[in-house]
A and B are shown apart, each in its own frame.
Chain A
Amino acid sequence: MNTVAIASSKLRDLYARESASIEQEFSVTGEGSVAVARRTSVVDTILLRLWNEAISPDPEGPKNFALVATGGFGRGWLFPHSDIDLLFLHAGSGSENDFKDSIRRFSQELWDLKLKLSPATRTVAECERFDPNNVEFAISLLDCRYLAGNRDLFARLREKVVPRLVARECKNLIQNLGEITRGRHHKFGNTVFHLEPNVKDGPGGLRDYNVAYWLALISAMEKLRTWPDPKTLLPVSSRRPLEDALDFQMSVRCFLHFRHGRHDNNLSWEAQDEAAARKIGASDAEVATAADWMRLYFGHARAVHRVCTQLLEEIPAAWSSLSRQLQNWKSRVSTPDFSVVDGLVFLQQPGTLENPEMLLRLFHFIAEQGVKLSTTTEYKIEQALPSLAATPPRGAELWLYLQETLVQPHAADALRAMNALRLLPLLLPELKGIEALVVRDFYHRFTVDEHSFLAIEHLHRLKESKSEWDKRFAELLGELEQPELLYLALLLHDSGKALPGDNHVEGSLELTDTCAERLDLDPADRETLRYLVGSHLEMSTAMRRDVFDPANVKSFAEKVGAPERLKMLCLLTFADIKAVNPEAMTPWKADSLWQLYIASTNYLSRSADERVHTEEHSSNLAHLRSLAPVAGKKINNFLEGLPQRYLRIHGASDVLMHAEMAAQLGQEPIQLSLKQVRHWYELALITTDRPFLFASVSGALAAWGMNIVKANAFSNGAGVVVDTFYFTDRFRTLELNLPEWERLKKSIVEVIGGKADVARMLQDRLRSEKLSGTKVKISTQIEFDDDCSAHSTLVQVLTQDRPGLLYKMCSQISRQECNIEIALIETEGQMAIDVLYLTSGGVKLSPDRQAELSRALREELDTK
């Protein structure tokens, strides 16, 4: 038995004894930093003894060869199952051959000890060469540490070679490090908030801490041309949180290595339970459950990730010319309140954050411009939070800013930043419970808050996506009347997961109610929000049935009721599934969702003439009667025989108003109501039915220069019509001239009464306007359907939108002796989509009449 073999046996005993002792100590103290330092020291001792046996009896010899610890081992971070990074450093190529056999023997002994060795052999000159295909080696030299052999040789490496290499290749090093890091982050979905995170490689893990340190080190070495003081490298404001995070994460990683008995850094649910029970890294914190412990984990990971990503962007040498251009462009977006430097926002007047409005504007700015908070601004916000907490903004003012923020393209990033600074739960305490909340199921990959932000982000990204599916859903998003309510619903849809109970939807509804109260939403908006949150699983459930089965489609569509809600629910479902994990929205699911959406939307258009019968039980009717108990008869008279569709698209307050107007018809035969609703005007007309009525009002509005974007026409059993026109005021006539409101109403009454010639009015208007060129050419399509209604023939007309279109079309229909029973008019971009339920002589249109009407409409619509 040779001396090395004897030494090896002793070393094996030493290593086994010390490893057991380290594990024993860790099981008592849970201090990861102590464990890694002890293991480093044990391995140092073993290496030194082997060096003496296999290479040189003199620990500082031979003169042309040295043993260097690099990477994690060089840093002194040897986790229980970490690799041992070693560099066999030669003065020149001559010594490589001299020590070839000794190095082999040395390495063999280490492998026999079951130590995982990652060796590299280089000459000093080779160390100075930058290899773009092995940036990791250059980076590992940043943590080089002397172990044995010639000290002067090591000093040459550390004091001359590495500083020269870093100074010369600073830009390449930072650029490569940035690319590797971004690639790694991308692999983990660019988020810290995984349900089962990887504590080493995941965003916010220990590797990110290293990256932040290396970036700061390279940047400082480039300036100083020597090694800086490591304690002053990281940003002052982040040092304490980073130290805490490092301590915590070291303990967690040690715990995982000991628990799994191998190099496994995945924090599984089972490991989370055990870590929480043992309060790993959390001796001073209150940890009652695994969810509490994970919040602690995410808090530390977030701090590390924040500094890492900040430094990746801040260090100028890392910029490529493209990112420099982008950052310069972003600098141009500065405003009197905020300045943007290198993509980071600074306050123009530092004291202004005491004003909550300024704080809300700041996040709106971030959501709009896609910029990030600078460390200084973050610090200012943190300082402003205590006074804000005393009287947080609420009500309409908060909702005003919040809705403007939610619809901006970078809303998710703004929300994440608000959440990281604890501002979001302060403004909306309903979201406090889901902050970094881990809910265990087999589908979700992210925490509940991150899942909600991701869902919002996926909707915003639809616009720029090239995927066929995304384009279809992006089109729907562009058509929404109130996208802000959809985004708010996404923010709240899983909030109930933080509450006890099996059904999180009920919890989410409770929190939605308090949130709606806090934001002082109007009743219609509350109803929509409640509907979306309460039904956020409905469409997924319907997708699990046969999406081609008319009965399934009917049952689902009737539950949804209104086309606008259907669009919102479809988008919510799309975003919710897509945010579960990157693979969740498969083309298979997207296809099913789309099929269900189009089948349901078609069903809603084609079943619009089922009538209301007030004697039948209906929750809608009961609700209306409860709102106005004394007006029960008036409501019944008005609603009897109106299409069900009327109740689906009008809220309770509208219905009550219309019933009141209908009751006034005896005094005034034409009842009009005109109001401004968000970005358009709404004109409601209640009168008795007569020929050309719908056409005349459309014509009058067009003659006034109004652009009708949507309209509905219904009539009840007593021949009272309820027509609603939604229009935009192209020339701002109503906005700038208050008296014009009354003049417009008067003009409409005159047109209906036959006292004004609408055709001439419209001709005058069209003559004075030059028709602007159309961007998209839409050819007219006319489709008849006799099957979808028991009483009427449905005609769907798709054509190019233009001033006076509705008047032209409806006049032609009236001239063909057809009566418009129901009209559902929509405009999407430059396309008018008009669905009309027609009768002639009280019955469906005969095939001859359909052919004649089709010909006449084509002639009318194709005439410019």
Chain B
Amino acid sequence: MTKVEAIIQVSTLDAVKDALHEVGVEGMTVYEARGHGRQKGHTEFYRGREYTVDLIPKVKLEIVLADDMVEKAVQAIVKSARTGKIGDGKIFLSRIDDAIRIRNEERGGSAL
């Protein structure tokens, strides 16, 4: 099992969700996140005051998948979240030892 964490632009969330559903990913967790990589912050002036956003609003998707699904999901995210500009986001993959469904204590792949 692999955990897929994707930090993406807020504006691409709907497209990413649709793309993941299309490749058969049914559940996901979405977090409101802030951050920046090479993309710099944003400054806007309003009535003489400066409003700077160093950490730009993003969303973070978290999905745990069976290994055979991972590449399909990654491709779905990449294709739907890419605008070609700085700030499109990143995907992180990590190994997961086990998963347990609390309701019936199913374990492993069947708990996903």
Contacts and interface: CB of A to CB of B under 8 A. Distances in A.
Contact of B34 (A548, A588, A798): A588
Given A602-B45, A828-B47, A544 B13 contact: yes
Given A547-B57, A588-B32, A592-B57, A833 B47 contact: yes
A832 to B, nearest CB: 11
A595 B47 contact: no
B11 A546 contact: yes
Contact of A831 (B32, B44, B47): B47
Contacts of A586: 32
A532 B19 CA distance: 34
A599 B9 contact: no
Contacts of B14: 544
Nearest to B55: A591
Contact of A595 (B11, B13, B34, B53): B53
A833 B46 CA distance: 11
A549 B83 CA distance: 12
A7 to B, nearest CB: 37
Contacts of B11: 544-546, 549, 552
A601 interface: yes
Contacts of A592: 10, 57
B48 interface: yes
Nearest to A828: B47
Given A548-B42, A586-B32, A588-B57, A598 B51 contact: yes
A589 interface: yes
A770 B27 CA distance: 70
Contact of A781 (B13, B34, B48, B57): B48
A594 interface: yes
Contacts of A601: 46
A550 to B, nearest CB: 11
The interface size bin for chain B is 10 to 19
Interface string A267-300: 0000000000000000000000000000000000
Given A588-B34, A589-B32, A591-B57, A599 B44 contact: yes
B9 A546 contact: yes
Interface string B19-63: 000000000000011100000001011111001010011000000
B10, B33, B57 interface centre (most CB from chain A within 10 Å)? B57
Contacts of A547: 10, 57
A547 B42 CA distance: 10
B49 to A, nearest CB: 9
B33 to A, nearest CB: 8
Contacts of A783: 45
Interface residues of A, number: 25
Interface string A562-595: 0000000000000000000000001011011011
Contacts of B56: 548
A228 to B, nearest CB: 50
Contacts of A599: 44
B32 A798 contact: no
Nearest to B32: A588
Interface in A534-559: 543-549, 552
Contacts, number: 47
A591 B53 contact: yes
A545 to B, nearest CB: 4
Given A591-B53, A592-B10, A602 B44 contact: yes
Nearest to A546: B11
A798 B48 contact: yes
Contacts of B45: 602, 783
Contact of A598 (B33, B34, B44): B44
Given A591-B57, A595-B42, A546 B47 contact: no
A588 B57 CA distance: 7
Contacts of B32: 586, 588-589
Contacts of A591: 53, 57
Contact of B46 (A546, A589, A602, A831): A602
A548 B55 CA distance: 12
Interface in A371-421: none
B23 to A, nearest CB: 22
Contacts of B33: 588
Contacts of B34: 588
A552 B83 CA distance: 15
Interface string A599-639: 10110000000000000000000000000000000000000
A835 to B, nearest CB: 11
Interface string A676-707: 00000000000000000000000000000000
Contacts of B46: 598, 601-602
Contacts of A833: 47
Nearest to B46: A598
A782 to B, nearest CB: 10
Nearest to B9: A546
Nearest to A553: B44
A223 B49 CA distance: 63
Contact of B51 (A543, A589, A595, A781): A595
Contacts of B48: 781, 798
B47 to A, nearest CB: 6
A591 B42 CA distance: 12
Contacts of B53: 548, 591, 595
A588 B33 CA distance: 8
B13 to A, nearest CB: 7
A555 to B, nearest CB: 12
A544 B16 CA distance: 13
A71 to B, nearest CB: 32
Contacts of B10: 543-547, 592
A833 B57 CA distance: 30
Given A544-B14, A595-B44, 10 more contacts: A543-B10, A545-B10, A547-B57, A548-B56, A592-B57, A595-B53, A598-B51, A599-B44, A798-B48, A833-B47
10 tightest Cβ-Cβ pairs between the two chains A and B: A588-B32, A598-B46, A545-B11, A798-B48, A546-B11, A781-B48, A548-B42, A598-B44, A592-B57, A588-B57
Interface of A: 543-549, 552, 586, 588-589, 591-592, 594-595, 598-599, 601-602, 781, 783, 798, 828, 831, 833
18 contacts: A544-B11, A544-B14, A545-B11, A546-B9, A546-B11, A549-B11, A588-B32, A588-B33, A588-B34, A591-B57, A592-B10, A592-B57, A598-B46, A601-B46, A602-B45, A602-B46, A798-B48, A828-B47
